[in-house]
Every structure is written in C-alpha cells, then in structure tokens.
C-alpha cells in the first residue's frame, strides 16, 4: 500500500512539473467575455529582464563641424553626419557587436579604409538594414525603432538566427522527403510539426493559412502539410514573443480579423518585414560570408521573430534606443532601392475577414 501511495505521489509530481507555480498574472487582451487573456509568470519575467535590458546611450555628439566623408576615407553610409557623430556611432557599434574584439573586428588596423575584411562589408549592409527598418517599417517597429544592439546584444552573431535544414529523405525514396515532420525541435516547441516554418514564410511568400478559400477539392490547395507549416510559424512567434495565441487571435474565431486584437496587424507587418530583410539584405550577402559562417545547405544566417524579441513581447521591453541615434533613423543616399519582388512596408489589410487579407500598395 505504501508503494502504491508513493507511486501515485510521484505521478502527481511529474504531472505538476509542467504547470505554472502560482501566483501568476493575467492581462485581458481582447473584448470582455472572450477570455483573451495573457498569463505571465512574474518569476520568468524577472529572469528575462536582465536579458532584455538596454545599455545606456553614449553622450550625444555635436552635429556641427566637418562631415565624416570629408575627413575619413571610404565612408559609404554615414558620410553625411559630423565627425563627432560618426565616431560615436562607431564606438556604439563596437560595444553592441564586438565588445571583445574592438575596432579590429571589422577594420584592418593598418588601413581602416580597406574593405578586405568581410565583417566590414557586412557591417555596412547591416547599417543600411537598420536605417531601412527605422525609415520604412514604422508599421512594425513604431517610434521605438531598432539599433544593432536590438539583435546582437553584445555578440558578433545574434543569438537567434536560422538556416535552411538539410533534406531529410525517407528510407524509401518513393515516399519523398520528410519535410522535417515528426522530428521534435525547439523551433516548433518540441512538437512533430515541420522543423522549418521559416523558409515558406520568412523567405518565400507562401500563404499563411490553415483553411482554403473554397470547398471544392480542385480549388482548395491548402494541404495538411501547409497547415502544419502555418502552425509551426505560430508556435515560433508565440515562443519568440513570450506570449500565447490570444496576443493576436480570438480563440473563438482564429481567422477573423474583426475579432482579433491590434497586435495581430503589428505581427502581420512583422512577418513581411522579416521576409523583406532576408531577401534584400541577408541572402545577397551569402557569397560575402566565408564558408564557416554558412549553414548546412550553404545558405547565410537569416532573421526571424526571435532575432529581435528574444522572448519579450517588445524587444528590450520597448526601450527606445533608436532615438539616441538619429543617424540610424533615416536611409542614406547609398542605400539601394528595394527590388520589385519585395513587399511594401506600408501595405495594409483592406479586407479584414475570415478568408484573406488583400494588399493595397501605395
């Protein structure tokens, strides 16, 4: 009898191990009576706070005086700012991205103007990417904006990036590729969903849908596999932001825009922003990065929601770092025009119903 009691107790403890220890906090995200609540664990939030603390900004630099392009050589992005602003930005970037290596992480100490280090070429494009986010994607980042620190957090490579996984053929070649299914991975919350929800949606522009728009078999192309990719992306977004489905959706009608909370539109823009950044900035740098910085299929590291958010519903809990660096808030003359294939940052839903969201281009 004692052994039975002990066994029952152990089973109970095992089951409770997956539960949140009270007390927990809840916040209503939607209309009253809908149960759209976010559940937060204060202890978890306290642990995350240190990971999402913004560093103090360097003292402001004067905007007058000679321009950087007139004093330094080979300045292609920040040439229009003052020398003081330029050197301040370089010092900040060093602290944000390479605090251990210092300036020589990107520069040849014998010739700072030389572009022979790939890190310098990449850093220049990342500056342009930061400017593009702040200038063109206000629909997602708002007035908070981003800096290099938003993603890098003092590391050469951001903690959260992704590569395409290698093919996973089945034992019987006739059965095709496993598509990453039934191989539990942290990218999809240790579920059996496809482990790569990023390529279809954050690189390619596959429809993010669970249901087709028509009932007829010949017209409904939303397969079970496509639905699972969609669920995989939703699991990633939930984990990346530290929220559950009700951050954006009314669980009574997941597809309904009329019943969704405002963050759904912000997330909709964020998906398109990540896709645009991967296409316009990251993928074109593939040949610039050395082989050891490539993924298993030879692709370059790319961004997803976790790259900026790192478990917080707003990166760095909304710390407005960009306001202290006006030179990062507008695009310089050297920034290339976006290719025609990219999605405009100002596109907005014009049909908010259960079927689809059309785009209105400016």
Positions at the binding site for heme? 90, 103, 106-107, 126, 140, 148, 151-152, 234, 245, 248-249, 305, 308-309
Residue 310 · residue 160 · CB < 8 Å: yes
Q: What angle do CA 29, 35, 37 make, to 5 degrees?
A: 40
Lookup: tokens for 36: 């759209």
SS3 95: helix
Whole-angstrom distance, CA of residue 185 vs CA of residue 290: 27
Residue 302 near residue 283 (C-beta atoms within 8 A): yes
Q: What angle do CA 329, 272, 177 make, to 5 degrees?
A: 140
Q: Copy the structure tokens of residue 208.
A: 């993010």
Tokens of 165: 């996984």
CB 330 within 8 A of CB 138: no
- Give 7's Cβ-side CA count (13 Å radius): 4
The answer to whether the beta carbons of residues 288 and 142 sit under 8 Å apart is: no
DSSP state of 155: -
Closest by CA position to 302, among listed 227, 197, 230: 197
- The β-bridge partners of 177 are 169
Q: Is residue 177 a contact partner of residue 168, using CB atoms and an 8 Å limit? A: yes
Three-state SS at 39: strand
Strands (E), the chain: 25-28, 37-40
Computed from CA positions of residues 33, 36, 41, 46, in that sequence, does the dihedral angle turn out positive or negative? negative
Q: Which residue, 343, 360, 354, is CA-closest to 140?
A: 343
Q: Which residues are annotated as a binding site?
A: 90, 103, 106-107, 126, 140, 148, 151-152, 234, 245, 248-249, 305, 308-309
């Amino acid at each position: 009898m004692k052994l039975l009691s002990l066994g029952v107790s152990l089973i109970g403890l095992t089951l409770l191990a997956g539960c949140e220890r009270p007390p927990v906090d809840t916040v209503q995200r939607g209309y009253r009576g809908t149960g759209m609540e976010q559940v937060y664990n204060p202890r978890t939030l306290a642990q995350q706070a240190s990971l999402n603390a913004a560093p103090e900004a360097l003292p402001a630099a004067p905007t007058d005086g000679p321009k950087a392009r007139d004093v330094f050589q080979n300045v292609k992005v920040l040439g229009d700012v003052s020398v003081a602003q330029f050197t301040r930005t370089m010092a900040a970037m060093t602290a944000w991205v390479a605090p251990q290596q210092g300036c020589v992480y990107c520069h040849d100490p014998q010739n700072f103007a030389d572009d022979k280090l790939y890190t310098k070429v990449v850093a220049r494009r990342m500056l342009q990417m930061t400017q593009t986010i702040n200038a063109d994607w206000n629909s997602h980042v708002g007035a908070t904006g981003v800096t290099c620190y938003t993603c890098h957090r003092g590391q050469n490579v951001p903690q959260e990036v992704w590569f395409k996984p290698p093919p996973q053929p089945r034992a019987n070649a006739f059965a095709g590729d496993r598509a990453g299914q039934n191989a539990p991975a942290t990218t999809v919350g240790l579920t059996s969903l496809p482990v790569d929800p990023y390529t279809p949606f954050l690189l390619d522009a596959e429809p993010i849908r669970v249901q087709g728009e028509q009932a007829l078999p010949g017209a409904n192309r939303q397969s079970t596999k496509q639905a699972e990719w969609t669920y995989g992306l939703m699991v990633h977004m939930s984990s990346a932001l530290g929220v559950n489905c009700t951050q954006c959706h009314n669980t009574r009608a997941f597809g309904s825009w009329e019943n969704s909370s405002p963050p759904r539109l912000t997330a909709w823009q964020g998906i398109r922003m990540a896709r645009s950044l991967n296409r316009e900035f990251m993928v074109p740098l593939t040949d610039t990065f050395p082989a050891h910085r490539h993924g298993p299929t030879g692709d370059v590291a790319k961004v997803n929601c976790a790259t900026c958010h790192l478990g917080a519903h707003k990166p760095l809990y909304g710390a407005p770092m960009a306001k202290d660096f006006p030179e990062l808030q507008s695009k310089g003359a050297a920034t290339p025009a976006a290719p025609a294939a990219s999605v405009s940052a100002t596109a907005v839903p014009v049909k908010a119903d259960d079927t689809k969201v059309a785009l209105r281009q400016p």
